[in-house]
Amino acid sequence: MSDFFGNIEPIKFEGPDSTNPLAYRYYDANRVVMGKTMQEHLRFAVCYWHTFCWDGADPFGQSTMVRPWIGQSDEMAAARLKAEVAFDMFSLLGVPYFAFHDRDIAPEGATLAESNRNVQAIVDVFEQKIEETGVGLLWGTANIFTNKRFMAGASTNPDPDVFAYSAAQVKNALDATHRLNGQNYVLWGGREGYETLLNTDTKRELDHMGRFLNLVVEYKHKIGFDGTILIEPKPQEPTKHQYDFDVATVYGFLKKYGLENEVKVNIEVGHAVLAGHSFEHEIEMANTLGIFGSIDANRNDYQSGWDTDQFPNNVPEMTLALYYILQGGGFTTGGLNFDSKLRRQSIDPADLLYGHIGGMDTCAKALLCAANMIEEGSLKSLVEDRYAGWNTEAAQAMLSKESSLDKIAERVEREGINPQPKSGRQEYCENLVNRFI
Ligand code: XLS
Ligand code: NI
Ligand code: NI
């Protein structure tokens, strides 16, 4: 154990009345809710990047946070210390999973081969830590957006050498994820998009991205990786226009390149909001299209209009999200990764714990609310009643191959069909939801 967190003891569940800021008030890992423990439902993960790789520097100011592994001359020793502190934190929180980019865990070398060796060395450390602590890998990914070689994209770069380099880097990250028994492998389209159409051939770029994803899926099968490949939609930032705009756009892309049964989505709260959607909209679209995979939990500042990646603290928003996740059958290989970071003035090691404790409690409380909503059932029966007309034979017949516009028109005339509006009862529904929060 490192001394980064001082003498902080593992975080325990103390119940809603607890005033201890280093205790869970709602997250009770072994509590059974709708037939599964909270831990099994929520499958929490801590992300490596915001948590261990950011020191508070922003475009206007220097670093604010003490991170003894950042800025050291012996970068590999620093990477080992970072891994040590990371697993200390996973154990203090009692989270079952973590997630990382290849470049989060080990320094980039002078060549890809050297970078790969650095990643392998830390993966060796992880292997042992996983063995010791029982913490698992929710997902791995490759950072193919930070280095300037990726400034015009990775698989969508006009330069085929960047496509090749990206493929080689993803191969190594997928191998690492496989070795660590990762539950999923994520591709967030970091700079897969464009700044201006004036210099961009979108047809080529999409075809290249489609082939790239097929290469990833083919390789996954080749090595016998049985985790899920996930795309993480985001509409903009860092590029002005990102190709993986939202869930529906990703589905169209997967269909076009024949991958709709191979790839699912990792939905991030802040990205949904940037796309002009609610989080639950994106979840329910993914359920509807059969591609729901995992989530990146955070929240945006509704005022600033950026992906501010704050820790979730909005119980009503998370309740609706979990309501739709549970209705869709819950997570399988996916989970709830905190793609969340501290604010720049939160400089104490304990702040990392407060952020995660608050996020986990928000989600746990939301899980209880969502489970109550489902068990009580009024909202579901309201929706069923609203569509009940479709259960008749005549209604179903319209959807069959034998029906036609003229047959339907003839029936409308013959039966004198004259629909009367019915209330959608939105306020009633909203009040109903609030009964459970
Ligand atoms: C950035 C993304 C990124 C992915 C992993 O906005 O959320 O952090 O989750 O590459
Ligand atoms: Ni994310
Ligand atoms: Ni994000």
DSSP string, 206-235: HHHHHHHHHHHHHHHHHHT--SEEEEE--S
CATH number of the domain that residue 192 is part of:
3.20.20.150
261, 213 Cβ separation under 8 angstroms: no
> How far, in Å, is the centroid of ligand 3 from the Cα of 270?
6
Residue partners of 60: CB distance under 8 A and separation at least 6:
none
Is residue 2 situated within a structural domain?
Answer: no
390 and 368 part of one domain: no
What residues have CB less than 8 Å from 202, skipping those under 6 apart?
194
Ligand closest to Cα of 237 equals 1
Task: Say how many domains are in the chain.
Answer: 2
For residue 333, what pLDDT is reported? 98
Select from 68, 47, 80 the least CA-distant residue to 4.
Answer: 68
Q: Does residue 290 share a domain with residue 273?
A: yes
Asked if 155 and 290 sit in the same domain, the reply is yes
User: Within this chain, do residues 20 and 119 fall inside the same structural domain, yes or no?
Assistant: yes
256 within domain boundaries? yes
| 326 and 406 assigned to the same domain | no
What is the domain range of residue 430? Answer: 381-434
How much is the pLDDT for 1?
83
Residue owning the nearest CA to atom 3 of ligand 1: 188
307 lines ligand 1 (CB under 6 A): yes
Q: Give this prediction's pTM.
A: 0.97
Two tokens, residue 8: 């902080």
Say yes or no: 353 and 242 in one domain: yes
Structure tokens at 226: 């049985």
Residue 177 lies in a domain: yes
Q: Which two tokens stand for residue 80?
A: 């080992």
DSSP class of 57: -
Ligand 1 atom, smallest distance to 141 CA: 10
* 107 and 214 housed in the same domain: yes
Residue 1 lies in a domain: no
End residue of a domain, out of 376, 400, 422: 376
- pLDDT reported for residue 307: 84
| Pair 314, 400 in one domain | no
Question: What pLDDT was estimated at residue 244?
Answer: 98
What DSSP character marks residue 58? B
φ and ψ at residue 239, rounded to 5 degrees: -85, 160
| Token pair recorded at residue 70 | 């950042």
Among 360, 376, 392, residue at a domain's last position = 376
330 & 406 share domain: no
Same domain? For 203 and 141 the reply is: yes
In a domain? residue 338: yes
What averages of pLDDT result for each successive group of 10 residues across the chain (437 residues)?
95 98 98 98 98 97 97 97 98 98 98 98 98 98 98 98 98 98 98 98 98 99 98 97 98 98 98 96 98 97 85 97 98 98 97 98 98 97 98 97 98 98 97 96
220 within some domain: yes
Q: Whose CA is nearest to atom 4 of ligand 1?
A: 188
Q: What is the structure's pLDDT at 306? A: 79
Q: Is 311 in the same domain as 412?
A: no
Whether residues 362 and 401 share a domain: the answer is: no
Out of 376, 403, 425, a domain closes at 376
Q: Evaluate whether 44 touches 338 at the Cβ level (below 8 Å).
A: yes
